[in-house]
């Protein structure tokens, strides 16, 4: 039976001290069109996922594409994305003409500006913050800025740890604990909540709401609440495991125990932050997010990957195998350049697997007008090309989703000439409805249709 209900896109389920934003429901459609004059299920979402240290030459380009640029097959290191090949654009000859290196390249990756280390000047606001300002007031949070906790040298270096800037000299603080971000979106206060999960506090309200909407919306509410439950359970499990490690001296000495709230397992940590992003977009808590998957000169060990030894930055200098250059640990060395380059590529592949998980989650969420992925622009890449050369040309860069925003996917795009990454930023802003005719040094948006 049809039930005539009108509700705002920002309708919330409320419990004692907790509020949970709802995903898009059919019942919201008429209200949103009247109040905002736009399609409520095509708000335009953007996420920038950043990796440092570049990728080895040849580890990013498609294995094959036809004369029109259609991707036929991906290379082995990009294979985790094969199931979503039709949802991807992979770029060639994208470059950052005014930002390079671990410090300048990281800091200006989203600003397109030059970098003045003495004045800490990145040239202007970053693209994500321009988008957040444009969308301000339409969501619970203007934007989310996520990062893993740094490891090794340069963890306190500001430029290497900042890709989001409110203006040329003001970096946006990053959140590194999944629970902190979760609470910002789904808890109004910490008082009186005790141990129960957030969704347990609103289940009674949800039962009442479900009686007022159609069957499709009932299913969406149930699926959404279960997803909240699952993320709560995973975060609580990670915290329990960290506490257990602290109680065993042998185990504590064997692993580097992270700070409270951060899982010991790096893969779990990354996935928890990705799940927080998914919930943020699904609930419309925000439509803009950046995620630094490590700081701009990461020295993290990836020895948990089979056949990999050494830190990420050391591996990126794959032509040096003695173990006595750059910030090598003085312990690890390699037998050949080929061996070290393969390890470098395996770290690239591991991160591609995490991005594939993010794309998969967004593709599984169905809204009245299609997948959440189709309304999202997911930009993933680095501010360096081949890490050994510190190249700024032919940057590893891809764009997933956005077909409902006019993006034609499944393409390998770019010409033999260099194209500024600023042109891609301008194109993204225009698809979000930002009235800009230029970004940084360019006035020509990248063609994505």
Q: What confidence tens digit (pLDDT) does each residue in 82-119 have?
A: 999 999 999 999 998 787 889 999 999 999 999 998 88
Instruction: Enumerate residues 6+ apart whose C-beta is below 8 A from 397.
Output: 90, 91, 94, 379, 380, 381, 382, 421, 424
Q: Are residues 321 and 446 in the same domain?
A: yes
Q: What confidence tens digit (pLDDT) does each residue in 252-270 have?
A: 443 333 344 788 899 999 9
Q: Which of 261, 280, 301 is the last residue of a domain?
A: 261
List the chain pLDDT tens, one digit each, 449 residues.
Answer: 445 555 555 555 555 455 566 666 666 655 444 433 334 444 699 999 999 999 999 999 999 999 899 999 999 999 999 999 999 999 999 998 787 889 999 999 999 999 998 889 999 999 999 999 999 888 878 999 999 998 877 888 989 999 999 999 999 999 999 988 887 776 654 433 334 555 555 666 666 666 777 777 777 777 777 777 766 766 665 565 556 556 545 444 433 333 447 888 999 999 999 998 998 898 788 999 999 999 999 999 999 999 999 999 999 999 999 988 877 888 999 999 999 999 999 999 999 999 999 999 999 988 777 899 999 999 999 999 999 988 888 999 999 999 999 999 999 999 888 999 999 999 999 999 999 999 999 999 999 98
CA atoms within 13 A on the CB side of 304: 10
Question: Is residue 111, in this structure, part of any structural domain at all?
Answer: yes
Q: Are residues 80 and 195 in the same domain?
A: no
Structural domain count, the chain? 2
pTM (whole model) above 0.85: no
**55 vs 341: CA distance, rounded Å:** 10
Question: Is residue 214, in this structure, part of any structural domain at all?
Answer: yes
Q: Are residues 26 and 46 in the same domain?
A: no
**431 vs 304: CA distance, rounded Å:** 40
> What pLDDT score was predicted for residue 14?
56
Q: Are residues 440 and 362 in the same domain?
A: yes
Q: Are residues 308 and 392 in the same domain?
A: yes
Written as six digits, the tokens of 177 are 């604990």
Q: Are residues 443 and 314 in the same domain?
A: yes
| Domain membership of residue 386 as a residue range | 41-176+289-449
Question: Is residue 133, in this structure, part of any structural domain at all?
Answer: yes
Q: Are residues 366 and 429 in the same domain?
A: yes
φ and ψ at residue 120, rounded to 5 degrees: 50, 60
Q: Are residues 230 and 300 in the same domain?
A: no
Looking up residue 67, the CATH number of its domain turns out to be 3.40.720
Whether residue 422 contacts residue 92, with contact meaning beta carbons closer than 8 Å, is answered with: no
Q: Which of 261, 280, 308 is the last residue of a domain?
A: 261
Q: Are residues 150 and 297 in the same domain?
A: yes
**209 vs 389: CA distance, rounded Å:** 58
Question: Is residue 324, in this structure, part of any structural domain at all?
Answer: yes
Q: Are residues 35 and 46 in the same domain?
A: no
Q: Are residues 232 and 115 in the same domain?
A: no
Q: Are residues 117 and 203 in the same domain?
A: no
**186 vs 19: CA distance, rounded Å:** 6
């Amino acid at each position: 039976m049809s039930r005539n209900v009108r509700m705002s896109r920002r309708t919330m389920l409320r419990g004692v001290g907790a509020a949970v934003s709802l995903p898009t429901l059919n019942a919201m459609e008429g209200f949103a069109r009247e109040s905002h004059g736009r399609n409520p299920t095509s708000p335009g979402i953007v996420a920038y996922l950043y990796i440092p240290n570049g990728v080895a030459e040849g580890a990013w380009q498609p294995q094959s594409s036809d004369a029109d640029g259609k991707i036929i097959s991906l290379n082995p290191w990009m294979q985790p994305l094969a199931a979503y090949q039709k949802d991807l654009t992979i770029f060639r000859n994208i470059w950052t003409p005014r930002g390079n290196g671990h410090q300048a390249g990281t800091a200006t990756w989203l600003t397109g500006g030059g970098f003045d280390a003495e004045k800490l000047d990145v040239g202007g606001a970053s693209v994500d913050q321009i988008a957040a300002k444009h969308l301000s007031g339409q969501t619970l949070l203007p934007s989310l800025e996520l990062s893993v906790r740094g490891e090794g040298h340069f963890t306190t270096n500001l430029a290497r740890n900042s890709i989001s800037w409110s203006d040329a000299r003001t970096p946006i603080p990053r959140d590194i604990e999944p629970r902190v971000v979760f609470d910002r979106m789904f808890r109004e206060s910490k008082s009186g909540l005790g141990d129960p999960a957030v969704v347990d506090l609103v289940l009674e309200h949800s039962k009442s709401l479900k009686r007022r909407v159609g069957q499709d919306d009932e299913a969406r509410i149930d699926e959404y609440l279960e997803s909240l439950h699952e993320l709560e359970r995973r975060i609580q499990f990670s915290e329990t495991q960290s506490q257990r490690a602290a109680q065993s001296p042998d185990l504590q000495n064997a692993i580097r125990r992270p700070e409270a709230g951060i899982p010991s397992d790096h893969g779990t940590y990354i996935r928890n932050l990705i799940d927080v992003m998914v919930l943020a977009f699904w609930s419309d808590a925000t439509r803009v997010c950046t995620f630094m998957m490590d700081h701009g000169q990461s020295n993290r060990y990836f020895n948990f990957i089979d056949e990999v030894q050494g830190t990420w930055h050391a591996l990126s200098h794959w032509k040096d195998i003695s173990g006595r250059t750059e910030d090598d640990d003085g312990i690890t060395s390699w037998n050949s350049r080929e061996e070290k380059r393969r390890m470098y590529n395996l770290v690239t592949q591991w991160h591609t697997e995490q991005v594939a998980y993010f794309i998969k989650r967004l593709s599984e969420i169905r809204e009245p007008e299609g997948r959440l992925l189709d309304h999202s622009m997911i930009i993933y890449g680095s501010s360096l090309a081949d890490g050994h050369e510190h190249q700024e040309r032919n940057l590893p860069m891809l764009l997933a989703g956005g077909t409902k925003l006019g993006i034609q996917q499944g393409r390998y795009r770019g010409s033999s000439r260099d194209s500024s990454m600023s042109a891609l930023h301008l194109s993204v802003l225009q698809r979000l409805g930002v009235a800009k005719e230029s970004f940084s040094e360019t006035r020509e948006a990248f063609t994505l249709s």
